[in-house]
Chains A and B, each alone.
Chain A
């Protein structure tokens, strides 16, 4: 369960105060696939970053899996992210100097998993996204869709409860986008993983269980997707 209570984010310089998020509150029950939509600059990614403990809210409280995580220390936050959260980015953010399998192993590396176990789990995650035959390739040798599938494998390898996806299909053509979306839907249905996805694509948003719309940092609607 994700619970957001009165989340605000204000960026302040000497002269300008910018309200990126204004009093956002909603819950995401376990196993739900939620999409967040809104125009560019409305605060979607900021909200996702706050849910993912990548950024801290100026005001408000975030509760993830029953834990109040807003005031966690740096080390505790890092550990929580490692064990409970998986991330997928629009730009994939794969490490080009590491092979596909080494990229996927990354979350396990910071969990102290043994090398052999890491390799087994990474290959299994790659099998789930249909890339088990690409383990020794490097990201630069893959297509955009394949890169995003590697990023999904990296997100699921540690078996997190929540996956946060920031425009996962934004850099892909529609066929590849559908492919990636199908994988996410399967993960949600088969493993019951909670997914929060930021998207610009109405078509993708309609495939999810619920939609939250933001406009200029404010929540304008939350409804079941149709």
Chain B
């Protein structure tokens, strides 16, 4: 029976070429957009190297410090004595009138004294980024650097194309060593293998290249850099900062995915225990609260987009945005296809009546049209697949998203396949259901 339906579906497609072209364009274009959205989502938030363990990670990227404002009110009591005004009493009252919030990343001291160890936790790393300008053979290079520790390489599973990472000892000794990205190796040294053992001048010191890593697909600034150096090589003033503010971000790895929430809660609790330091400016500003934000990767992404105070609000907005954008891209073509399908099926009213006359049940008619629709959707899906591969290649090679590499993998294909099926079923179900209800005699009169 399916073969019969398949033959018919192919014939119907060939019969009205204009309709077929419009339908296939609608489906393939929709799927292409969906696939690119999914590929982008997968590149940014999927478990890809060097963030394969993203579902076990928590990032403490920033903190907030509240400083209350105080206003002083004067109450003067005076009276006239002859021609003179005499001030009897003057009262001063100081009241809190508002709060100033200072937001930013943390000092090394804050992380090491108050957020060093939480339970459960497998590893912790610290990092910060900065820009370097270096010159080589008269060429100027603007490099993004990540200054980090040894654990960084255990948390983020970079793919080393040559050499290796720096060691714990090298970090402790503030050794002038570096790991570079493949693009830096190509641009600066002319190749990956030949860059190992060479040096690059960073902050006035020659850093020996120990390893070359493949660029990650996500645009996350925790992993995207041209050069990676031990954080201990930075200025001593940054390392010895006694206040709370500094350039550091802390990354924590939970022992397992299921323990991540517990680790996040533990970090939140630790953050609340940070003692409030003495007043910065006695009498004027007194720090009265510090809050750190332990975020998952998705929460970080959502926060960077919406900046709402409540973590859950950011997440809700982010997911709503995803669902709405995917929903819109599914809903609009689905409505359009429902319309086109209904017209197309109405043209086949006589055929449907003949089938019913000869014993087709309503379910069989419904099944036939759904099957035809799914076939059409799959053909559109294949075209959409080819189009998405083309566009993904174009986006990657054009540099339109310099820090993100879109990839089309099995996961994206699987979800796109599901979307394709959903589109086929949704756009076929309503027209097929309506047409299957048609009275036989009505169809035979056409």
Residues of A within 8 A of B (CB): 49, 52, 54-55, 74-75, 78-79, 81-83, 87, 89, 93-95, 97-98, 102, 105-107, 109-111, 115, 154
Contact = CB atoms under 8 A, between A and B. Distances in A.
Contact of B364 (A49, A89, A98, A110): A110
Nearest to B1: A109
Identify the 5 closest CB pairs spanning chains A and B, nearest first.
A82-B359, A97-B11, A110-B359, A107-B358, A54-B440
A75 B365 CA distance: 12
Nearest to A151: B354
B358 A89 contact: no
B441 A97 contact: no
Interface in B1-15: 1, 3-4, 7-8, 11-12, 15
A89 B444 contact: yes
A29 B241 CA distance: 108
B194 interface: no
Contact of B3 (A95, A110, A115): A115
B441 A111 contact: no
A81 B357 contact: yes
B357 A54 contact: yes
B270 interface: no
A102 B4 CA distance: 8
A123 to B, nearest CB: 16
B357 A87 contact: yes
B11 A98 contact: yes
Contacts of B15: 97
A18 to B, nearest CB: 15
Which of B4, B350, B358, B444 has most chain A Cβ within 10 Å?
B358
A107 B359 contact: yes
A36 B341 CA distance: 39
Contacts of A154: 358
Contact of A106 (B11, B358, B362): B358
Nearest to A80: B359
Interface string B220-261: 000000000000000000000000000000000000000000
Interface in B346-370: 350-351, 353-362, 364
Nearest to A94: B354
A52 B357 contact: yes
Nearest to B5: A109
B358 A82 contact: yes
B27 to A, nearest CB: 21
B350 A93 contact: yes
Contacts of B356: 78
Contacts of B362: 74
A94 B359 CA distance: 15
Interface residues of B, number: 25
B441 A49 contact: yes
B444 to A, nearest CB: 7
A186 B217 CA distance: 77
Which of B7, B439, B444 has most chain A Cβ within 10 Å?
B444
Contacts of A49: 440-441
Nearest to A83: B359
A54 B11 CA distance: 28
23 contacts: A49-B440, A55-B440, A74-B362, A79-B359, A81-B359, A82-B358, A93-B354, A93-B444, A95-B8, A95-B351, A97-B8, A97-B11, A98-B11, A102-B7, A107-B358, A109-B1, A109-B4, A110-B355, A110-B358, A110-B359, A110-B364, A115-B3, A154-B358
A81 B440 CA distance: 12
A81 B219 CA distance: 65
A75 B356 CA distance: 10
A81 B356 CA distance: 9
Contacts of A83: 359
Nearest to B8: A97
A217 to B, nearest CB: 16
A110 B4 CA distance: 11
Contacts of B357: 52, 54, 81, 87
Nearest to A98: B8
B15 to A, nearest CB: 6
Interface string B11-22: 110010000000
A195 to B, nearest CB: 16
A54 B359 CA distance: 11
Contacts of A52: 357
Contacts of B3: 115
Contacts of A93: 350, 353-354, 444
A28 B7 CA distance: 40
Interface in B372-394: none
B354 A106 contact: yes
A52 B444 CA distance: 13
Which of A78, A83, A102 has most chain B Cβ within 10 Å?
A78
B358 A87 contact: yes
A154 B359 CA distance: 12
A95 B8 CA distance: 9
Nearest to A105: B4
A74 to B, nearest CB: 6
Contact of A110 (B12, B360, B439, B441): B360
A82 B360 CA distance: 8
A110 B363 CA distance: 11
Nearest to A155: B358
A51 to B, nearest CB: 13
Nearest to B351: A95
A77 to B, nearest CB: 9
Interface string B176-192: 00000000000000000
Contacts of A97: 8, 11-12, 15
Interface in B424-446: 439-441, 444
B366 to A, nearest CB: 13
Contacts of A98: 4, 7-8, 11
A111 B359 contact: yes
